[in-house]
Amino acid sequence: MPHAPASCVQQPPPRGESPADARGDPRRAFRSAADIGLHRRHFHGGDRPAGRDRATHALSLFRHFATRNDLLAAFWHWINARIGANPAPHKLAEIVDGPRQTFPLFDSHDGAICAALHSRTGQAMRANTIAERRAAFQAALSTITDGLAPGEAASVEALAHLLFSASAWEDMKDYGGLSGTEAGETASWALEVILSAIA
């Protein structure tokens, strides 16, 4: 089977909307950031587009939000909605099927996903969602973890986070040579095996 391309290799940034054209609408500014500023090449070493584009992006985005955390939270929800991902599932079935549904979508938006994984800004965006994601996974998994010791329940939750994550998508593509579809099927299968053994 031929190997899928490495997921987060540097590629020339896609041509997108000019930052200057995105000033009036935060969604247009988000789209500009995703297409241009959030591409992994732009985050290498500086985490921001260079020169005049850097200031324009900052003005275009920050003018719509009271704080940096507000901006990061809004952008993270927007990019997940654009991709069609559900980072905070509320049902057990959503966790099990999550990789199967989501990993193929990551292939179509690999620039934004790689930026979320490897840039300081992307890591800050994800950090802002940790509490919400932990609470959602804990509640969704409670139907099979309620009878477990606290340490065992925490281990199950951690494995679910790992298998339903962009990091799992990246590693299975880069090290296993899998496509997003194959990686999603593999992660969902692993979740089914692990959780059925506990239930």
pLDDT, tens digit, 9 for 90 and up, residues 109-158: 888 788 788 878 778 878 888 999 999 999 999 999 999 999 999 999 99
Between 194 and 117, residue with greater pLDDT: 194
Q: Is residue 10 part of a domain?
A: no
Residues 20 and 95 in one domain: no
Q: Which of 63, 74, 71, 59 is nearest to 20 (CA)?
A: 59
Contact status, residue 49 vs residue 57, Cβ threshold 8 Å? yes
Residues 117 and 178 in one domain: yes
What is this structure's pTM?
0.71
User: Has residue 54 got a pLDDT over 70?
Assistant: no
Same domain, 170 and 95: yes
Q: Please compute the mean of the pLDDT values over residues 25-36 and round it to a whole number.
A: 56
Domain membership of residue 2 (yes or no) is no
Tell whether 108 and 131 lie within a shared domain.
yes
Distance from C-alpha of 95 to C-alpha of 4, rounded to nearest angstrom:
25
In this structure, the answer to whether residues 52 and 133 fall within a common structural domain is no
Long-range residue pairs from 59-65, CB within 8 A, at least 24 positions apart, any chain: 59/23, 60/19, 60/20, 60/22, 60/23, 60/29, 60/32, 61/26, 61/29, 61/30, 61/33, 63/23, 64/26, 64/29, 65/26
Please report the pLDDT score of residue 163 as a whole number.
Answer: 98
Is residue 138 a part of any domain in this protein? yes
Say yes or no: 98 and 146 in one domain: yes
Res 78: pLDDT: 76
Do 169 and 80 reside in the same domain of the chain?
Answer: yes
| Residue 57 predicted with pLDDT over 70 | no
Q: Is the residue at 1 inside a domain? A: no
Q: Do 75 and 173 lie in a common domain?
A: yes
Q: For all residues of the chain together, what is the average pLDDT?
A: 76
Higher pLDDT, residue 105 or 9: 105
Cα of first residue to Cα of last residue in the chain, in angstroms, is: 35
What whole-number percentage of the chain has pLDDT above 90? 42
Are the CB atoms for 59 and 107 separated by under 8 Å?
A: no
Domain encompassing residue 138: 68-198
